[in-house]
Amino acid sequence: MPAGTTPQSIGPAARLPQRPGPAPVVKTAGVAAPGDGGTLERPLHGPGRSIHPDPSALVRSGSAGRSRSLTGIAALSIADLEDLLSRARRMLAALERGGGRPLTPAPLAGRRIVTLFYENSTRTAQSFHVAAHLLGAAPFDLPVARSSVQKGEGLRDTLRTCEALGFDAVILRHPVTGAAAYAATVLGVPVINAGDGTGEHPTQALLDALAILRHKGRLAGLKVAIVGDVRHSRVARSNALLLARLGAEVWLCGPPGLVPAAPPCPGVTVTTCLDEALDAADVVMALRIQRERLAGVLPDLGEYRRGWGIGPRQLERARPDAILMHPGPVNRGIELDPAVMDDPRCVVEDQVRCGVAARMAVLEWALRPVCPEGAKDEPAGGEDGLAGDEDEPSGSGAAERLGADERAAEAPWAAAGQRAESHRAEAGGVAVAPPECAAGTRRPVVANGRGRAGAEVGRR
């Protein structure tokens, strides 16, 4: 963990200064809100660590004229998801019409955003910078490796310094689950989650949905197979929550012990059998093996490649027009065979292009004033609608090696399942499990119609 991120430095140990005016505050379980003078109820721990019991999404929507934070998919309404994707499609169309030039007029002219990344990134960090530039905002980066964090400065003080410097939004990536939700309680400017521990990566899910819409024209009714270390993947979690709620049939597949014990919401099926997950899939998404997050618990990479790696033979089980996705960076020869990387169905680079448009949409959504109730919000980028309609590993014995860290990693999935209960009317139907895999494997775990996990069938 980077220097300065300790249980004491993360949490607000003393009363925070009160802000002038009636700034609304969103409280999250286990996190002290500004002005409360409390401390975090739960200390940090190892992989899967969390800074509070419910590290799920916060979306802080103020009154008219105030901006919004995006810290996860789970708290977004269906209307919010459709709004963000509609904006993203407009942005993508505007960029293609304009040859990638900045929008005119610039919707975020005069705004300043800062990326604060406690973990390495290429695609996410740079696409936020490009997105801000194309919207007319000034993007800045606070390099943690050369900042006062190395002198012991805590997250709260670093965040408050960013606000004091006049930044209009903070894009935060942090190794602790729930850090973005915590930051949203500390700051009076929007916080956008660029990945927090094993929690969520909401803008990755939005760009993935945009890429699917671009190639398939719809989300509802598609079968999406997400393969890898699903349990520890913030990409898988955010994608499952978004895609299932918009009508896709999501299959989560990985080695025993590296898939969640229960689906996060209706419309999601969990299995350890790759053939089942890929059978007639419209979208296949592989996840990166996160060596940095699973040091000491990774099974043999050869075992993973043989059981859950995706090559030409495995891809044959999907539909002929299926698309192949990966959040990047790809460990060639492990998650994906180099041969499928050159397959025309592979859209990994197109995901990067969609990432710019999706993050433009999020920045516009977060920073443009919220219209008064009844007023029409006109997103930038022209007219378009929803027409047509970092992460991973595995092998036997992994469950035993994960131990307490595995139990900790279940918390975000359990919380997501509880939140999905409130959205069951929106989420739609039940994922239907196909026949069992070969002997010795586990049958899928299926969400029932009430949004709770179906019973898991033991080994035969």
Write out pLDDT tens, residues 284-300: 999 988 765 555 555 67
Residues flagged as binding site for L-aspartate: 151, 234, 288
Domain with CATH 3.40.50.1370 in the chain: 7-15+26-202+355-367, 216-349+390-446
pLDDT of residue 324: 97
Summary mean pLDDT of the chain: 75
Checking if the pLDDT of 375 tops 70, the result is no
Residue-wise pLDDT for 33-79, tens only, equals 333 222 222 323 333 444 443 433 344 433 334 569 999 998 899 99
Task: Give the pairing of strands 169-174 and 138-143.
Answer: unpaired
Checking if the pLDDT of 426 tops 50, the result is no
pLDDT of residue 242: 98
- Choice between 97 and 9, residue whose per-residue pLDDT is larger: 97
Top CATH class, 7-15+26-202+355-367: alpha beta
pLDDT of residue 402: 32
Whether 413 and 241 have beta carbons less than 8 Å apart is answered as no
Reading phi first (left if > 0) and then psi (alpha if -120 to 50, else beta), residue 58 is in beta
pLDDT of residue 425: 38
Residue 460 CB neighbour total at 10 angstroms: 11
Most confident option among 40-54, 220-234, 302-316, 406-420: 220-234
Residues flagged as binding site: 123-124, 151, 173, 201, 204, 234, 288, 328-329
Whether 269 and 295 have beta carbons less than 8 Å apart is answered as no
- In the chain, what percentage of residues exceed pLDDT 90? 55
pLDDT of residue 22: 36
Model confidence at 27, in pLDDT bands (50, 70, 90)?
very low
Reading phi first (left if > 0) and then psi (alpha if -120 to 50, else beta), residue 217 is in left
Model confidence at 132, in pLDDT bands (50, 70, 90)?
very high
**3.30.1490.20, 3.40.50.1370, 3.90.1150.10, 3.40.50.970: CATH of 216-349+390-446:** 3.40.50.1370
- What is the rounded distance in angstroms from the CA atom of residue 281 to the CA atom of residue 94? 31
Q: How many Å from the N-terminal Cα to the C-terminal Cα in the chain?
A: 42
Say which residues have a Cβ less than 8 Å from residue 104's Cβ, sequence separation at least 6: none
Model confidence at 332, in pLDDT bands (50, 70, 90)?
confident
Most confident option among 305-309, 326-330, 338-342, 346-350: 346-350
Residues flagged as binding site for carbamoyl phosphate: 123-124, 173, 201, 204, 328-329
Model confidence at 124, in pLDDT bands (50, 70, 90)?
very high
Reading phi first (left if > 0) and then psi (alpha if -120 to 50, else beta), residue 335 is in alpha
pLDDT of residue 297: 55
